């Protein structure tokens, strides 16, 4: 899709890192859960779409859900319960103006809610696209009612014009940071802080070059900082690479950051960021020559540890249509911060071929360091705010905002690479297992409306399950998690869904529960169930890294089910596999079965064809699943198959017969009788009225017609022949036989003439010279 120059390929060599051989690109979820209304609480309102903006108000037990021209207040514990809603629709005049600008009035010229943030006075700040004229307002919830204050703030630079354009925003201490486009055409991308002093990026391709914004996050880097550093706001996005020597555009993933206390420069970079720096993010995927593109991120921090130990999890997808792989990479905040604080810069160098080449800057770097926040060292030099930064430093960062070094993921490889449904969103939850270890469980939304639950166990990526949340399948566009309810919330164009972190009850046996390797679940021997860890105080059986089910008690024997089959008949014995990682096998009388012409081993059962006496006996379906600890075999189903014959076993077995009595047959007989009576009455009425001739009148009438036809036969034949040679009028064209106009699709033209001859009983009407009109030009 993107043919590159050799120099560009050389530049991408770091992306050619390969994965270990045991990493499977076809990482299969152990359990696939099809769509069912019990999978999640669902919310959808008729006629409303695009539920892609969410705000958790855990203090009010609310989920604020932004959709197209509406905001909903839903019960946080059960989002299928709507507590309040408010409409925010565009006027007819706004829709007409939007339509006049060339936009679709039914899709684009609506008000898509894109910004929902909580303010410090417990109100909500909400913005919408407003028919390509973005607008913002304040919203409050009181006494079970949502209310818009209708202040009508300008939303340019805060909210996108285009409802289908990616954007990012975050509210920090009542200051809105947003990344979107400033104009109608989408040609002026900005990273902007709206207040107290409006600060934005430069309109230069070296700062932002056709970006696709993804997400934003704040890092409290001033907390207990020995250097007196400032808090940072990180922006993740993709853009066309200005540093690549390519004929075609090459997309790369980026992370940028700005300092929270940035006020802009005094002369240079007035009301512009003085701390804007960006670097390339790599997520090396096997066999990929082109960089993978970032789609979403999630910040995961341990509250007991320093901010430098926080991680950013990100999902990546290919920019080429030839690949169907998606990946998850994790990055340490400390690694990102180090590149910005100590890394080299890139600079643009003109070359003879009249284009600009970007190379590592090896010259002298001014002091204070370009792009750095105000710290203790700067304060000692008399620089207490960005307005005091020298112009030399500001001019440097204005021309060179790009870092030379790319940021590599942890282990320099993805945590997960999977072929199949494209990844869209990610959330990571920390959970403490039964043994006390902490694990990061990844919940990944896909383009097909499913959600994957996966864990990385010491380098081994294990997908616990894949659950279908939406039907019909719709891409998951947003994911949120509530610590209060312990529930996940997903949004799509169709609606919103709420689902628990785990549904342990899907595992019906101890072996299935342990082999699921779900950190949230364990087997409770006292109650004989797979239960949620936090709901039980007893010691539970759990083996996450090894999948060791040896501690499980012996399972209860499977009760055989009786099945009968007729000689020469077919029978299917069902055996649904409890796991996608397990293989099923069949035994008859303890001997393994193999596929033959009459025995078909299916994925969900065994099919017996053209049965004989040798097919009777006891069948057993076994599930064999391999874990790191051992291979485990369990009996899934058992059948006792017997041959159904008349009189077998002292009982008379009667083959199925057609039912000749009963209320349904009697009713049918009554209906048939009534129809016959009605038909006879209808015939009698038509004979009486003369609509149908009586039988004894038919012969007389036929003789009279025969005589009349004989007398006028010559005249009629002559008239018909002349009519056939006369050109047909234009409106009569459908009657031309040669045109095969569909009135008699079962006959050719010759057959139609023959039919006419037989009907008129006139040998002169064969007309061998008669021609048919096939084209209107012949008329």
Q: Which residues contact 659 (CB under 8 A, 6 or more apart)?
A: 665
Other C-beta atoms closer than 10 Å to the C-beta of 373 total 27
| CA gap 469, 452 in Å, rounded | 10
pLDDT at 764 (0 to 100): 39
729 or 453, which is more confident?
453
pLDDT at 666 (0 to 100): 61
pLDDT at 718 (0 to 100): 37
| CA gap 3, 578 in Å, rounded | 46
| CA gap 43, 495 in Å, rounded | 6
Split at pLDDT 50, 70, 90, the class of 693 is: low
Split at pLDDT 50, 70, 90, the class of 773 is: very low
Residue with tokens 């949340």: 469
CA-CA-CA-CA dihedral for 491, 495, 498, 501, to nearest 10:
-50
- pLDDT > 90? residue 252: yes
pLDDT at 395 (0 to 100): 96
- pLDDT > 70? residue 761: no
Domain boundaries, the chain: 507-552, 561-649, 728-779
Q: Which residues contact 78 (CB under 8 A, 6 or more apart)?
A: 41, 498
pLDDT at 583 (0 to 100): 93
- pLDDT > 60? residue 759: no
pLDDT at 709 (0 to 100): 42
Please give the share of the chain, as a percent, with pLDDT higher than 90: 69
- pLDDT > 80? residue 690: no
Read off the pLDDT of residues 538-570 as tens digits, 9 standing for 90 and up: 889 999 999 999 999 988 889 999 999 999 999
Read off the pLDDT of residues 620-651 as tens digits, 9 standing for 90 and up: 999 999 999 999 999 999 999 999 875 444 33
| CA gap 354, 649 in Å, rounded | 97
Region 397-421: mean pLDDT is 94
Read off the pLDDT of residues 82-112 as tens digits, 9 standing for 90 and up: 999 999 999 999 999 999 999 999 999 999 9
Q: Which residues contact 742 (CB under 8 A, 6 or more apart)?
A: none
DSSP state of 317: E
Q: Does domain 507-552 have CATH number 2.40.30.110?
A: no
| pTM of the predicted model as reported, rounded to 2 decimal places | 0.80
pLDDT at 694 (0 to 100): 56
| CA gap 190, 499 in Å, rounded | 36
pLDDT at 60 (0 to 100): 95
16 or 602, which is more confident?
602
Read off the pLDDT of residues 578-613 as tens digits, 9 standing for 90 and up: 899 999 999 999 999 999 999 999 989 999 999 999
- pLDDT > 60? residue 746: no
Split at pLDDT 50, 70, 90, the class of 715 is: very low
pLDDT at 25 (0 to 100): 58
Taking CA atoms, 519 is separated from 33, 310, 545, in Å, by 18, 21, 10
| CA gap 641, 643 in Å, rounded | 7
751 or 216, which is more confident?
216
Read off the pLDDT of residues 37-82 as tens digits, 9 standing for 90 and up: 889 999 999 999 999 999 999 999 999 999 999 999 999 999 999 9
Taking CA atoms, 35 is separated from 356, 476, 495, 581, in Å, by 53, 14, 14, 20
Contact 542, 523 (CB under 8 A): yes
Region 282-310: mean pLDDT is 91
Q: Which residues contact 561 (CB under 8 A, 6 or more apart)?
A: 637, 638, 639, 640
CA 174, 179, 182, 184 torsion-angle sign: negative
Class of the CATH-defined domain 561-649: mainly beta
Split at pLDDT 50, 70, 90, the class of 249 is: confident
pLDDT at 667 (0 to 100): 63
- Cis link prior to 146 (omega < 30° from 0)? no
pLDDT at 354 (0 to 100): 60
- pLDDT > 60? residue 657: no
3-state helix, strand and coil shares in percent for the chain, rounded to the nearest 5: 20, 35, 45
Segment holding 704, helix H or strand E: helix 695-711
| CA gap 311, 330 in Å, rounded | 6
pLDDT at 685 (0 to 100): 72
Please give the share of the chain, as a percent, with pLDDT higher than 70: 82
- pLDDT > 60? residue 21: no
CA 464, 469, 470, 474 torsion-angle sign: negative
Read off the pLDDT of residues 348-404 as tens digits, 9 standing for 90 and up: 888 776 678 889 999 999 999 999 999 999 999 999 999 999 999 999 999 999 999
Segment holding 126, helix H or strand E: strand 124-128
pLDDT at 352 (0 to 100): 73
Could you write out the DSSP letters of every residue in 632-678?
A: EEEEEEEEEEEE--TTGGGS--PPP-----SHHHHHHHHHHHHHHHH
Region 416-432: mean pLDDT is 95
Chain-wide mean pLDDT for the chain? 84
């Amino acid at each position: 899709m993107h043919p590159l120059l050799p120099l560009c390929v050389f530049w991408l060599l770091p992306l050619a890192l390969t994965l270990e051989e045991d990493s499977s690109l076809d990482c299969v979820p152990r359990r696939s859960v099809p769509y069912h209304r019990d999978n999640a609480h669902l919310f959808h309102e008729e006629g409303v779409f695009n539920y892609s903006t969410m705000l958790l108000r855990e203090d009010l037990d609310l989920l604020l859900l932004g959709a197209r021209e509406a905001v909903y207040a839903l019960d946080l514990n059960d989002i299928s319960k709507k507590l309040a809603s408010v409409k925010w629709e565009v006027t007819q005049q706004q829709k007409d103006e939007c339509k006049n600008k060339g936009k679709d009035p039914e899709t684009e010229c609506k008000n898509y809610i894109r910004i929902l943030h909580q303010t410090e006075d417990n109100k909500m700040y909400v913005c919408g696209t407003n028919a390509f004229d973005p607008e913002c307002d304040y919203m409050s919830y009181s006494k079970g009612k949502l209310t818009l204050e209708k202040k009508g703030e300008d939303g340019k630079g805060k909210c996108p014009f285009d409802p289908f354009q990616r954007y990012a925003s975050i509210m920090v201490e009542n200051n809105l940071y947003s990344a979107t486009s400033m104009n109608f055409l989408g040609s002026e991308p900005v990273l902007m802080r709206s207040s107290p002093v409006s600060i934005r990026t430069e309109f230069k391709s070296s700062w932002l070059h056709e970006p696709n914004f993804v997400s934003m996050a704040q890092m409290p880097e001033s907390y207990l900082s020995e250097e007196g550093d400032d808090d940072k706001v990180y922006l993740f996005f993709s853009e066309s690479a200005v540093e690549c020597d390519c004929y075609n555009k090459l997309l790369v993933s980026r992370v940028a950051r700005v300092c929270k206390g940035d006020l802009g420069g005094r002369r240079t970079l007035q009301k512009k960021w003085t701390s804007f720096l960006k670097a390339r993010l790599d997520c090396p995927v096997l066999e990929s020559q082109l960089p993978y593109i970032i789609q979403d991120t999630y910040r995961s921090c341990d509250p007991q540890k320093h901010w430098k130990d926080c991680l950013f999890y990100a999902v990546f997808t290919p920019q080429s249509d030839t690949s169907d792989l998606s990946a998850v990479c994790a990055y340490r905040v400390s690694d990102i911060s180090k590149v910005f604080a100590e890394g080299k810069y890139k600079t643009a160098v003109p070359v003879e071929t009249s284009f600009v080449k970007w190379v590592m800057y090896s010259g002298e770097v001014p002091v204070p360091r370009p792009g750095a926040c105000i710290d203790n060292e700067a304060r000692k030099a008399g620089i207490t705010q960005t307005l005091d930064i020298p112009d030399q430093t500001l001019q440097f960062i204005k021309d060179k905002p790009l870092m030379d070094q790319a940021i590599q993921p942890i282990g320099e490889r993805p945590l997960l690479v999977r072929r199949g449904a494209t990844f869209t969103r990610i959330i990571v939850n920390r959970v403490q297992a039964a043994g006390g270890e902490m694990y990061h469980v990844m919940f990944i939304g896909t383009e097909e409306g499913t959600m994957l639950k996966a864990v990385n166990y010491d380098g081994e990526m294990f997908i616990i399950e894949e659950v279908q949340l939406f039907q019909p399948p719709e891409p998951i566009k947003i994911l949120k998690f509530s610590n209060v309810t312990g529930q996940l919330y997903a949004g799509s164009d169709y609606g919103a869904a709420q689902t628990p972190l785990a549904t342990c009850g899907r595992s019906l046996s101890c072996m299935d529960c342990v082999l699921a390797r779900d950190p949230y679940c364990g087997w409770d021997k006292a109650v004989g169930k797979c239960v949620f860890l936090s709901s039980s105080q007893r010691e539970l059986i759990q083996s996450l890294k090894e999948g060791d089910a040896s501690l499980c008690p012996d399972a209860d024997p499977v009760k055989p089910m009786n099945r009968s089959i007729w000689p020469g008949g077919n029978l299917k014995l069902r055996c649904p596999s409890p796991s996608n990682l397990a293989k099923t096998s069949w035994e008859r009388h303890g001997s393994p079965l193999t596929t033959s012409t009459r025995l078909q081993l299916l994925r969900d059962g065994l099919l017996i064809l053209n049965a004989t006496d040798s097919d009777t006996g006891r069948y057993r379906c076994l599930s064999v699943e391999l874990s790191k600890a051992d291979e485990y075999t369990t009996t899934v189903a058992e059948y006792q198959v017997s041959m159904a014959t008349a009189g077998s076993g002292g009982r008379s077995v009667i083959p199925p017969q057609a039912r000749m009595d009963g209320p349904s047959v009697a009713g049918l007989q009554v209906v048939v009788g009534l129809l016959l009576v009605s038909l006879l009455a209808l015939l009698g009425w038509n004979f009486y009225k003369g609509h149908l001739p009586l039988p004894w009148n038919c012969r007389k009438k036929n003789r009279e017609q025969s005589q009349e036809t004989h007398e006028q036969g010559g005249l009629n034949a002559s008239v018909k022949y002349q009519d056939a040679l006369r050109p047909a009028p234009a409106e009569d064209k459908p009657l031309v036989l040669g045109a095969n106009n569909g009135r008699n699709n079962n006959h050719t033209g010759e057959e139609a003439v023959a039919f006419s001859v037989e009907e008129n009983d006139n040998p002169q009407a064969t007309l061998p010279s008669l021609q048919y009109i096939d084209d209107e030009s012949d008329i």
